[in-house]
Amino acid sequence: MVKIEAIVRPTTLEEIKEALVKINIRGLTVSQVMGCGLQKGRKEYYRGTEVTLNLLPKVKIELVADDTQMEEIIKIISTTARTGEVGDGKIFVYDVKDAVRIRTGERGHHAV
């Protein structure tokens, strides 16, 4: 099993969720996060003073899936979230040793 963590623009979330449902991925966790990278933020004016906001709103999507689905999930997220501009996001993949469904005690891919 693998854990896939994607940090993307908030505007792409709904389209990513819809695309994942089409391949039968239903369990995921979504968090609103702030981040910075190459995008470097934006300049705004506050009380007449220019202020650089370098932490921008992003969405973090986390899911655990079978190894066989990893490449398809990465492809869906990356193509759906891609605008071609700096700040499209990142995808990280981690190995998952085990998973346990607390309610039933199921383990491994059955728990996911």
pLDDT per residue as tens digits for the range 37-92 = 776 666 777 788 877 777 789 999 999 999 999 999 999 999 999 999 988 999 99
pTM of the model: 0.84
Under DSSP, is residue 14 helix (H, G, I), strand (E, B) or coil?
helix
CB 25 within 8 A of CB 63: yes
What's the CATH code of the domain at 86?
3.30.70.120
The full DSSP string for 51-99 is EEE--EEEEEEEEEE-GGGHHHHHHHHHHHH--SSTT-EEEEEEE----
Owning domain of residue 64: 2-110
Count of domains in the chain?
1
